[in-house]
Amino acid sequence: MFSHNKRLQYTVHVSEPNPGLANLMLEQFGGPQGELAAACRYFTQALAEEDPGRKDMLFDIATEELSHLEVIGNIVVMLNKGAKGHLAEGVEAEGEIYRSITGAGNDSHLTQLLYGGGAPLVNSAGVPWTAAYVDTIGEPTADLRSNIAAEARAKIVYERLINLTDDPGVKEALGFLMTREIAHQKSFEKALYSITPSFPPGKLPGDPRFTHTYFNLSQGPGDTRGSWNQGEQWDYVEDSDACLAVDGGSGESSADLSAPDAELTQQFAERTASDPAMDPVTGADLGSSPILDEIENKTSTKKKK
Amino acid sequence: MFSHNKRLQYTVHVSEPNPGLANLMLEQFGGPQGELAAACRYFTQALAEEDPGRKDMLFDIATEELSHLEVIGNIVVMLNKGAKGHLAEGVEAEGEIYRSITGAGNDSHLTQLLYGGGAPLVNSAGVPWTAAYVDTIGEPTADLRSNIAAEARAKIVYERLINLTDDPGVKEALGFLMTREIAHQKSFEKALYSITPSFPPGKLPGDPRFTHTYFNLSQGPGDTRGSWNQGEQWDYVEDSDACLAVDGGSGESSADLSAPDAELTQQFAERTASDPAMDPVTGADLGSSPILDEIENKTSTKKKK
Amino acid sequence: MFSHNKRLQYTVHVSEPNPGLANLMLEQFGGPQGELAAACRYFTQALAEEDPGRKDMLFDIATEELSHLEVIGNIVVMLNKGAKGHLAEGVEAEGEIYRSITGAGNDSHLTQLLYGGGAPLVNSAGVPWTAAYVDTIGEPTADLRSNIAAEARAKIVYERLINLTDDPGVKEALGFLMTREIAHQKSFEKALYSITPSFPPGKLPGDPRFTHTYFNLSQGPGDTRGSWNQGEQWDYVEDSDACLAVDGGSGESSADLSAPDAELTQQFAERTASDPAMDPVTGADLGSSPILDEIENKTSTKKKK
Amino acid sequence: MFSHNKRLQYTVHVSEPNPGLANLMLEQFGGPQGELAAACRYFTQALAEEDPGRKDMLFDIATEELSHLEVIGNIVVMLNKGAKGHLAEGVEAEGEIYRSITGAGNDSHLTQLLYGGGAPLVNSAGVPWTAAYVDTIGEPTADLRSNIAAEARAKIVYERLINLTDDPGVKEALGFLMTREIAHQKSFEKALYSITPSFPPGKLPGDPRFTHTYFNLSQGPGDTRGSWNQGEQWDYVEDSDACLAVDGGSGESSADLSAPDAELTQQFAERTASDPAMDPVTGADLGSSPILDEIENKTSTKKKK
Amino acid sequence: MFSHNKRLQYTVHVSEPNPGLANLMLEQFGGPQGELAAACRYFTQALAEEDPGRKDMLFDIATEELSHLEVIGNIVVMLNKGAKGHLAEGVEAEGEIYRSITGAGNDSHLTQLLYGGGAPLVNSAGVPWTAAYVDTIGEPTADLRSNIAAEARAKIVYERLINLTDDPGVKEALGFLMTREIAHQKSFEKALYSITPSFPPGKLPGDPRFTHTYFNLSQGPGDTRGSWNQGEQWDYVEDSDACLAVDGGSGESSADLSAPDAELTQQFAERTASDPAMDPVTGADLGSSPILDEIENKTSTKKKK
Amino acid sequence: MFSHNKRLQYTVHVSEPNPGLANLMLEQFGGPQGELAAACRYFTQALAEEDPGRKDMLFDIATEELSHLEVIGNIVVMLNKGAKGHLAEGVEAEGEIYRSITGAGNDSHLTQLLYGGGAPLVNSAGVPWTAAYVDTIGEPTADLRSNIAAEARAKIVYERLINLTDDPGVKEALGFLMTREIAHQKSFEKALYSITPSFPPGKLPGDPRFTHTYFNLSQGPGDTRGSWNQGEQWDYVEDSDACLAVDGGSGESSADLSAPDAELTQQFAERTASDPAMDPVTGADLGSSPILDEIENKTSTKKKK
């Protein structure tokens, strides 16, 4: 069960409202790398987790991410603080309000107009948050790697937001949030490497014919070798033609059909065949070709009432 | 520039059409962990990549993933091969077709009805593929970790699909595809650890007060310690109350408002205040409370024409 | 700041795993009327709320909804408990696993295959949760009405889920969750009617010419009168023609254009005009009409090499 | 069956094209609180409605909302009227067109570039309309409350749009549309309270142990009492710890598993356990730790060819 | 302005409720090729249309499509008619209801559980309708072609639905709806070919070097020639290598950067370079390699407290 | 199988970075009419195609569209080239970076902040690409028409992009891409008209009573006749009333219900009836009506503790 304290995990002070900046901060509120995504990711993993240590860790971190969602949400709300009343109370000249929410350096019209200057769960372009951002699949050696990557991404987006603002209170709170992503990544790394083995993920081994092969499918200027495709652990297939039908078969696909199925498939194919022996007049011809003008005119004349 | 050979990278043979199984295979065609997601992920990273080695590797692997999309797509099409003609040609009794596309073990109605037995870019529940699945952010120490995680997830979903079928040709082709995810993960790992340092990702360092702290925000039965929250590299904060306002401030949020902004905000607050001193009759009361019956009746009587 | 206790708000006991039922329960986990929607709705309102009483209430209820998300999530996980291991460990015959996740009364293939038997944030059809479900707009007389409606909807969906199962532990926990929606609706009703006035919502009054008018735009069999369109407070406009251009104007739309704008618009219109004086041969004609056969054949003959 | 008259329900006159303002108006055309959402909401309810009075009312209002969609659509089209020809005819210097569709106060590039200056079913951020906005569930005591809330929200968004413009023709037409939301809300209120009882919604009563309880789950500064949580009809649970396992049970979740299921679950858990007794070297360590430099170098030296 | 008559454009009679079939019918209600898509497509085109003939035609057909939406919606509602009461009234044994909404041949659980047996704007897989289905771009020679294609698709999906059912009333109403798509396609064809020229669409001519070229980019077994790539109007480029850099340039991309931009780009590239001269130990190595066991153990021993 | 050459199909040279313009170019990268949509459309059709000529053509064109995706992606990346380093390296004053990514004529904040100056699969408003854009249904006479329309749309969007820029290298590459859409449309037209017959699409004929009827459902000013609704091939139904129940029936919908189903439906209807004989006090009345003040006050006084 969750409980809540109206004090934040980190104090937020904003020097000056700035709805345009608030809009950018939404990236970490309702954006794909943001705190709702993080909280949902770890919370749902915690629910289904069989391992007591990971379950506890996932609940700890999910709860902290919810608390971070609250911190970044407060940053958004404080940056919108002044603007909110203008549109709701409508006391100014209309042109003034219009200019203030659509002016240069301010893409906040959606936030003001649709969401009333609150903190909506959208990214900085106004795209609603979707659980399609959460890539949990219920296998810890995969999910922990997903968590490590998610923390790395969130750290970078915070870094970019920090580079965008010179409000010291905003910078400091963002710095705290960014730092926690580093700490969380470290925890997830520890939990991953405490599973042995953790690679390859899952239970089935790979087919040994193809675990060490590197296919050089992009040819031409810029071909480069490095530890990712050279060294004793790699078989490097240089030529793309050698990548075709690597099983040694025909490289075709086939299915054994029952006789009635085969017949129906054939019937469909015949009914819808494009005859390569024909060079038909087409709609594009009708719409463009001067050589058809005569024919068309004659025909439409005939058809006119 | 891409080119194509109509031979596959791996030969596909299906023993018997099975639209229900085809539907499950869509998970790796148009699903979040599938091959379109993989191809798009690496292709878009390759476009923006500054490092020649990674750029080449990303194009190599993106091209292979497109070729895998083709392999899994052929599996889907072959498993649908028989069913496709039935609905299109409509030669059977209607009830028969209805039963065959909605029967037990077969959730393929969408595939047949809307997509005509083809290979649509949806997952096994019919949800259209979305670029929201692609989590690239343009920083290699994050993107390579995302790629590693994506390969791990794809490996697991292939493993599950292999566990579902006993068609030997399908099993073998899926085994190839699964194995390649292992190989790709290895390449991405090599490329990641060839960046020094690769942790923490990005350029800004963390705030040293919070990089080594673990907040025990989930209390109660099941609290567990492990390398993810204990050891010399961690400060473990046991008590949730100690997690409040860790900056030492008030834990509140505030913004410095101009006088007119403050006034408008106040005006909005007053206009919309919920008066705690009042215990109003509500809509729920109107809809339920027997003690209001008399009042209501009297009023509606008065208002009746 | 949030904190968490690994004990639930309500104990969950499941008599027998049932992945098909688990799938239906997702409706209140990641569905539009579910607990994540409720928690996000109230939490984001709380962040932007200016009124201290409502802010406190919204945080109280948001926190409880998060705790309910945990309860329904545990129901889902427990109902999937047995199935999860089968696919992951793959120890059975493949046909067996296939039948068990696609069999009659069980639409759980997505849950098992993609999400590994966890509790994903999707509805019972597998559609990912989206913040488009959250209709908060930052004006309390609207948002409280939205909350009242949301609680009413959630109550009904729980009622339907209760009607579907005879597992006593599931029924009891669902009963608790359903009941709390009733209590929350009551709180939101109190808060709404503590704002005076609360109708019409917002600040601008309606145009008195149209606040009491009812337009009978759907004619024909079944026209019915009731308090929603009759009585002294309504002007009933019987005839649809009388609903046209109720301002008394032309009912047309127009814009004053500058001369260059008007000219460009005209130029575009002329370039793309469909000439009503013409009866052209069309693509449909080409594809169907026997009377065109001769012409077509002649033309294609001429064009053949 | 619907029929249409090319005259509008309300005359639209625009003094001056303004694509930036057109873009904002889309909020009530293809936005979540807009007229398409309203029309779809009432039309689909009308189809399934069993009650003749409500069915008639829902068709009346759905038809009016379609007519409002046409009015707001005409406002959008008239505001774009001038701009449309510029991009289509391309007669100006390119820089000029670029500046005119991306300039300050004008976020209309999407409308011009992708939709050709028409009236697309997107909101002011360009997010396509989705039926996820429609929250109908087929129970009148819930759906009517949803309709009341929807009308309240639409009224507010119109109010904000009115506050944004000083074009008298636009203001007047918006005023009409806003007023009709007030009238519709009144009709839905009448229809709701004509159902007795209307609270609680649905058929199942709540569990009397929990219908009158208020859980104070958000503690700390700002705790407030009001009619929503105090008075004779409420049991106020002050302490969050008292909110745990309110059924009096363990607060844990459990499922009775068959022996084979239990064994497989255990097998999965063991295979994927994170060993708390281990403090492994991690990927983060590899990417950062100077104390590992020596080991790494030695290893990579050994592995170099 | 729209008006409505509660009589349908085509009478609907259903012999026997069938929620499973109702679910399939949703494809033409809220699916991508369905009637809402058609109505929205033509209605929004009509609003922005400059040509009076097309504007009138688009309103005529949009209005008819709305009336078709009503017909197919009534089919859905009638097919659900019996089932709706069962779940709402909950008078049966729970297992019974569960079996009836999840049984073989019936994927209607979403319709019943979430939408209460109504007619929701989703497709047969439960995916909510989205305006992303509407491909209008505001240029008539493109939009009319899109309309022609949309009518062709809708005709086919109706044909498939007709093939699925043997209820004579449903078959007859579907036959009417299917037929109207044919008639509409004919109208749109006439309107398209009444624009001269209609090909190529738009105003800018193509680059004559590339309007007649066909690039044979897919090589290998199955290469076929036909009127689409042979004949006097085509230049056929046989060899894929000849398709590279067809402008005769380097086939590379470049941008002229200012000196500071170039320097920053270089700085970013260097900071994030993957060193090809290094063969690092990776996370995959840590998780798998037996040759690292000794090193790891030693290290973790050192780091243990 | 695909292979790749790091040389482009068309050389790209950008004179000057311009992130605002890059953002607009995304329309043809990850937008609905863009190259990913085209490639996916033709590739998935090719997979399921039975006709060898069309299969080959679809692979040829799909492969070319992938190569075009690469060209437009390189345009995007080159236009972002300078900006990318600024945010990543963060060497400037923060206000400077903020202004540069949110300034007039530049809506690129999403591209920079979330995607790091890369080429994300979103449109110019930041909406992620979705497979809902792909309208393939697996019937060639419909799919080829969809392809023709898609090429026409893509041609127009390129034309608009060309009108927006004066960078000669960008203009030239866009001109190539636009031209290829014309050539592809021609190929698809040839393939369509090589199917005989191609109209009406599919196998079932229309109902001859309704294939030649035109319903004049939009009345009033602007009614226009043209080849789309007049001439010997059309029956024009002038009066909307004559469009009702064209089958000659009642225009009502009905279902034959079993007795228990009918009874349950009736029970539901009665439980939820809105009584037209009642004029209830409503929530709107409570929130607004001064005549209720006395009653409310009395009641709330009674209820106060």
Pick the residue from chain F with its C-alpha nearest to E167: F255
Maximal CA-CA distance, chain C:
85
For residue D197, whether the previous peptide bond is cis, meaning omega lies within 30 degrees of 0, is: yes
D179 and chain C: CB distance < 8 Å anywhere?
Answer: yes
Whether E278 sits inside 8 A of A227 (CB atoms) is yes
Q: Is D294 exposed, middle or buried (0-12, 13-18, 19+ CB in 10 A)?
A: exposed
Pick the residue from chain C with its C-alpha nearest to E111: C125
Pick the residue from chain F with its C-alpha nearest to C194: F287
E225 and chain C: CB distance < 8 Å anywhere?
Answer: no
Instruction: Kindly tell me the number of DSSP H helices and DSSP E strands found in chain F.
Output: 11, 6
For the cut 70, the answer to whether the pLDDT of residue A167 exceeds it is: yes
Q: Which candidate from A47, A120, A203 shows the least CB-CB separation from C74?
A: A47
Instruction: Name residues whose C-beta falls within 8 Å of residue F61's C-beta, 6 or more positions apart in sequence.
Output: F38, F42, F184, F187
pLDDT tens-digit series, residues D125-166? 999 999 999 999 999 999 999 999 999 999 999 999 999 999
Q: Which candidate from D2, D107, D186 shows the least CB-CB separation from F107?
A: D107
Q: Which of E42, B232, E271, B34 is nearest to D291 (CA)?
A: B232
B215 and chain A: CB distance < 8 Å anywhere?
Answer: yes
- Residue A161: list chain F partners with CB under 8 A: 113
User: Contact at 8 Å (CB) between F72 and F35?
Assistant: yes
Pick the residue from chain D with its C-alpha nearest to F288: D186
For the cut 70, the answer to whether the pLDDT of residue B181 exceeds it is: yes
H/E stretch holding B14 reads strand B12-14
DSSP code of F290? G
- Residue F61: list chain B partners with CB under 8 A: none
Interface of F with C in 256-285 (CB under 8 A): 274-276, 278-280, 283-285
pLDDT tens-digit series, residues A52-107? 999 999 999 999 999 999 999 999 999 999 888 888 888 877 778 888 877 766 77
- Residue E33: list chain B partners with CB under 8 A: 114
Whether E279 sits inside 8 A of B190 (CB atoms) is yes
A12 and chain B: CB distance < 8 Å anywhere?
Answer: yes
Q: Which of D186, D178, D146, D203 is nearest to D75 (CA)?
A: D178
| Predicted TM-score (pTM) of this structure | 0.95
E290 and chain B: CB distance < 8 Å anywhere?
Answer: no
Full DSSP string of D33-96? TSHHHHHHHHHHHHHH---HHHHHHHHHHHHHHHHHHHHHHHHHHHHHHHHHHHHHH--S-HHH
A15 and chain B: CB distance < 8 Å anywhere?
Answer: yes
pLDDT in the model for residue D289? 54
B192 and chain D: CB distance < 8 Å anywhere?
Answer: yes
pLDDT in the model for residue D303? 45
pLDDT tens-digit series, residues C107-166? 788 888 999 999 999 999 999 999 999 999 999 999 999 999 999 999 999 999 999 999
Q: Give CA torsion, residues F17, F19, F22, F27, to 10 deg.
A: -170
> Nearest CA of chain B to the CA of D203: how many Å?
13
- Residue D10: list chain C partners with CB under 8 A: 245-247, 249, 251
B142 and chain A: CB distance < 8 Å anywhere?
Answer: yes
User: Contact at 8 Å (CB) between E49 and E58?
Assistant: yes
Whether B275 sits inside 8 A of C5 (CB atoms) is no
pLDDT tens-digit series, residues B119-140? 999 999 999 999 999 999 999 9
- Residue B127: list chain E partners with CB under 8 A: 125, 127
E114 and chain C: CB distance < 8 Å anywhere?
Answer: yes
Instruction: Name the least confident of B195-199, E65-69, E285-289.
Output: E285-289
Pick the residue from chain C with its C-alpha nearest to A129: C131
Q: Percentage helix, strand, coil, to 5, in chain A?
A: 55, 5, 40
Pick the residue from chain C with its C-alpha nearest to B244: C1
F24 and chain D: CB distance < 8 Å anywhere?
Answer: yes
Instruction: Name the least confident of A20-24, B287-291, C19-23, F141-145.
Output: B287-291
Which is it for strands E235-237 and A218-219: parallel, antiparallel or unpaired?
unpaired
Q: Which of C238, C243, E46 is nearest to D9 (CA)?
A: C243
- Residue A196: list chain D partners with CB under 8 A: 275, 278
The Cα F219–Cα D7 span in angstroms is 9
Q: Which of C253, D74, A305, C276 is nearest to E56 (CA)?
A: C276
pLDDT tens-digit series, residues E147-171? 999 999 999 999 999 999 999 999 9
Pick the residue from chain D with its C-alpha nearest to E203: D89
pLDDT tens-digit series, residues A143-161? 999 999 999 999 999 999 9
The Cα A225–Cα A243 span in angstroms is 18
- In this prediction, residues C189-209 reach a mean pLDDT of 95
Residue written as tokens 């219900």? F257
For the cut 60, the answer to whether the pLDDT of residue D290 exceeds it is: no
Cβ neighbour number for residue D262 with a 10 Å cutoff: 15
Neighbouring chains of A at 3+ CB pairs under 8 Å are B, C, D, E, F
Whether F109 sits inside 8 A of A126 (CB atoms) is no
CA angle C74, C76, C80 (to 5 degrees): 115
Whether F243 sits inside 8 A of D1 (CB atoms) is yes
How far is Cα of residue F52 from the mean position of the Cα atoms in its chain? 30
With helix as H, strand as E and coil as C, how does chain E read? CEEEECCCCCCEEECCCCHHHHHHHCHHHHCCCCHHHHHHHHHHHHHHCCCHHHHHHHHHHHHHHHHHHHHHHHHHHHHHHHHHHHHHHCCCCHHHHHHHHHCCCCCCHHHHHCCCCCCCCECCCCCECEHHHCCCCCCHHHHHHHHHHHHHHHHHHHHHHHHHCCCHHHHHHHHHHHHHHHHHHHHHHHHHHCCCCCCCCCCCCCCCCCCCEEECCEECCCCCCCCCCCCCCCEEECCHHHHCCCCCCCCCEEECCCHHHHHHHHHHHHHCCCCCCCCCCCHHHHHHCHHHHHHHHHHHHHHCC
> Nearest CA of chain D to the CA of A227: how many Å?
9
- Residue C296: list chain A partners with CB under 8 A: 280-281
Average pLDDT, chain D: 91
Average pLDDT, chain A: 91
Pick the residue from chain B with its C-alpha nearest to A271: B89
Best probe of the E interface among D3, D45, D49, by most E CBs < 10 A, is D3
Instruction: Name residues whose C-beta falls within 8 Å of residue C66's C-beta, 6 or more positions apart in sequence.
Output: A2, A66, C2, C35, C39, C43
pLDDT tens-digit series, residues E55-110? 999 999 999 999 999 999 999 999 999 888 888 888 877 778 888 777 766 778 88
- Residue B36: list chain F partners with CB under 8 A: 40
Whether B115 sits inside 8 A of F137 (CB atoms) is yes
User: Contact at 8 Å (CB) between A107 and B106?
Assistant: no
> Nearest CA of chain C to the CA of B167: how many Å?
9
Q: Which candidate from B2, B103, B114 shows the least CB-CB separation from E123?
A: B114
Pick the residue from chain E with its C-alpha nearest to D91: E203
The Cα C73–Cα C29 span in angstroms is 6
> Nearest CA of chain C to the CA of E6: how many Å?
5
DSSP code of F235? E
Q: Is B99 exposed, middle or buried (0-12, 13-18, 19+ CB in 10 A)?
A: middle
Contact pairs from chain C to chain E, CB under 8 Å: 143
Q: Burial code of D120-158, b = ≥16 C-beta within 10 A, e = fewer?
A: bbbbbbbbbbbbbbbbbbbbbbbbbbbbbbbbbbbbbbb
How far is Cα of residue C158 from the mean position of the Cα atoms in its chain? 17
F21 and chain E: CB distance < 8 Å anywhere?
Answer: no
The Cα F71–Cα F11 span in angstroms is 8
Pick the residue from chain A with its C-alpha nearest to F102: A105
A92 and chain B: CB distance < 8 Å anywhere?
Answer: no
Which is it for strands F2-5 and A218-219: parallel, antiparallel or unpaired?
parallel
SS3 A3: strand
Whether E21 sits inside 8 A of B195 (CB atoms) is no
The Cα E301–Cα D280 span in angstroms is 9
pLDDT tens-digit series, residues E113-152? 999 999 999 999 999 999 999 999 999 999 999 999 999 9
Backbone conformation region of residue A211, classed left if phi is above 0, alpha if psi is from -120 to 50, else beta:
alpha
Q: Is F93 exposed, middle or buried (0-12, 13-18, 19+ CB in 10 A)?
A: exposed
Maximal CA-CA distance, chain A:
85
- Residue D139: list chain E partners with CB under 8 A: 88, 116
Helix locations, C90-167, DSSP H: 94-102, 109-113, 140-164
For the cut 80, the answer to whether the pLDDT of residue C294 exceeds it is: no
User: Per the structure block, which two tokens stand in for E52?
Assistant: 């009076």
Q: Give CA torsion, residues F145, F149, F152, F154, to 10 deg.
A: -120
A131 and chain F: CB distance < 8 Å anywhere?
Answer: no
A48 and chain B: CB distance < 8 Å anywhere?
Answer: no
The Cα E193–Cα E184 span in angstroms is 14
Q: Which of C114, E99, E101, E126 is nearest to B110 (CA)?
A: E126
Q: At what angle do helices D52-89 and F140-164 cross, to 10 degrees?
A: 50
pLDDT tens-digit series, residues E181-224? 999 999 999 999 999 999 999 999 999 999 999 999 999 999 99
Cβ neighbour number for residue F277 with a 10 Å cutoff: 9
C6 and chain B: CB distance < 8 Å anywhere?
Answer: yes
pLDDT in the model for residue C292? 46
Q: Which candidate from E141, E221, E284 shows the least CB-CB separation from A199?
A: E284
Average pLDDT, chain F: 91
